[in-house]
Amino acid sequence: MVAILDRFKKKKPAAKAERPAGPRPASASAPQPERPKDESREKPRGKRHVIGVVIAPHVTEKASLASGRGWYAFRVRADANKIIVKRAVEDRYGVTVERVRILRRRPKRIRLGRIEGRTPGFKKAMVKVKAGQTIELT
């Protein structure tokens, strides 16, 4: 019975082997050759990628009414934030973005008779452009 409980006891750390005093061998201090870097695997630094953040304009009756006041709606990637959306819209459409509002539309449960399903959810960004500028979405 006691042998079974030994499994749960904390084990003491093993004693470390001491190094002999004196100079290190020459092989340990020799510089290691550098491996060639693979540029295709490196991530861009400083500026996060904005390609593919804006999926499509979100064209609805409500969104088209808001475009008269300078607000435009876009479907964006699920991991997008306000800063990235602002950069992506400015790069893609060549306008100055003043404000960005982001909302997440959750999936809804729908029923057709006995069959149950879900509508897909998505992330939407409302973007306000500088007065006098427009975005042509057609």
pTM above 0.85, yes or no: no
Domain boundaries, the chain: 49-131
Q: What does each C-alpha distance from 117 to 36, 109, 114, 121, 124 come to in angstroms?
A: 51, 6, 10, 12, 22
Task: Identify the CATH number of the domain defined by range 49-131.
Answer: 3.30.70.330
| Counts of helices then strands in the chain (DSSP H, E) | 4, 6
**For residue 27, what is the DSSP state?**
H
Give the angle subtended at the CA of 46 by the CAs of 40 and 52, to the nearest 5°: 65
In this predicted structure, what is the pLDDT of residue 51?
81
Q: Which of 59, 56, 54, 58 is nearest to 88 (CA)?
A: 54
Question: Can you give the pLDDT at residue 53?
Answer: 92
φ/ψ of 124, rounded to 5, equals: -125, 140
At 127 the pLDDT is 97
**pLDDT for 50:** 78
Interior angle at CA 66, CA 56 and CA 107, nearest 5: 50
Q: What is the distance, to the nearest Å, from the Cα of residue 68 to the centroid of all Cα atoms in its chain?
A: 31
For the chain, which ranges sit under pLDDT 50?
A: 46
